[in-house]
Amino acid sequence: MARVTRLPGEGSAEVIQSVDRALRILTVLQGGRRMALGEIAGALELPPSTVHGIIRTLLAHGMVAQERDSQRYRLGPATLRLGNVYLDTLELRSRVSTWAGELARRTGFAVRTGVLLQGDIVVVHHEPRPDGTRQMPEVGIVIPAHSCALGKAVLAYDGDAAALVLAGPRRSMTGDTVTAKAVLRAQLAEVRASGLATEAEEAVLGECGVAAPLAEAGGEVAGAIGLVVPSGEWPADPSASDALRTAARAVSRELGAQAWPPTATGRAATA
């Protein structure tokens, strides 16, 4: 039998398509969702037979799990392992930990650090309030960027990401979530003017926030660090904002940035 030799790149389109669909399935299941096969297929606008084949592969690798009683699918334990690998290699997280602890002690508020991922903010470090109360760990939570101070602090300096968020659907998390394009554009301009972003109960009722961007070597925005302020204590004392700016400058310096705040890139540079 003649040996078949596959040329470099041959079949790559099919491979890329399969990888894309697998990643889209994992994205649909994020946030603790439990979905039936038909629901996943409907969300991706793909035939159930196509989705089922990909899910079988994800099941074999532990990226997806199936519940025995409901037969619904959810993210599998292997995604946690990948997440931990990412966090362990994320320089921003390692640089921010000391400064976040000091910031929490100085202000009395919880501190979150987040990075942008496809229009959302993923919390990569969480420093609880230093009051000794029981608090849930928040590393890994995902918040729509347009609805939180962390997201606005990043979008203000990443014009291309901001354009995608403004062009796409922006869901309301609470009755106070700002979704209007003109208002969001004005808010991002204010962030670039002051170096700080704020939000009042836009993502979670009873919770407000103020955040500052973090710059990396080269001057571009790397993420954001912010204070979580209970609505009863909002607005926070100006000294808290000063402490936040100091922490953001220090972390940015350790990341190799020569100046703070970051340099606005993409459409933000000309807005």
CA dihedral (143, 147, 150, 152) positive or negative: positive
pLDDT value of position 271: 54
- Residues 259/219, Cβ–Cβ less than 8 Å: yes
Task: Give the HSE-up count for residue 122: Cα atoms under 13 Å, Cβ half-sphere.
Answer: 16
Q: Identify which of 49, 62, 239, 260 has the alpha carbon closest to the alpha carbon of residue 153.
A: 260
Which residues of the chain fall short of a pLDDT of 50? 1-10, 270
- The label of the residue with tokens 């100091």 reads 246
Residue type, 59: L
Kindly tell me the burial class for residue 64, based on how many C-beta atoms sit within 10 Å of its own C-beta (0-12, 13-18, 19 or more): buried
- Residues 139/123, Cβ–Cβ less than 8 Å: yes
d(CA 211, CA 186): 17
d(CA 25, CA 44): 8
Q: Identify which of 79, 71, 70 has the alpha carbon closest to the alpha carbon of residue 25.
A: 79
Check whether the bond before 137 is cis (ω within 30° of 0): no
3.50.30.60, 3.30.450.40, 3.40.50.1000, 3.40.50.10860: CATH of 90-269: 3.30.450.40
pLDDT value of position 27: 83
CA angle 157, 113, 197 (to 5 degrees): 45
d(CA 165, CA 181): 9
pLDDT value of position 215: 97
d(CA 81, CA 87): 10
Q: Identify which of 100, 97, 116, 111 has the alpha carbon closest to the alpha carbon of residue 156.
A: 116
Cα 245 to Cα 49, 109, 238, 241, 251: the distances in Å are: 52, 15, 11, 6, 10
- H-state helical runs in 123-237: 149-155, 159-167, 181-194
Q: Which two tokens stand for residue 207?
A: 């919770």
Where are the domains positioned within the chain?
12-77, 90-269
**Length of the chain, please?**
271
Q: What is the pLDDT of residues 31-73, one digit of tens each?
A: 668 889 999 999 889 999 999 999 999 998 888 999 888 889 9
3.40.190.10, 1.25.40.80, 1.10.10.10, 1.10.1740.10: CATH of 12-77: 1.10.10.10
Q: At what angle do helices 181-194 and 159-167 cross, to 10 degrees?
A: 160
Check whether the bond before 169 is cis (ω within 30° of 0): no
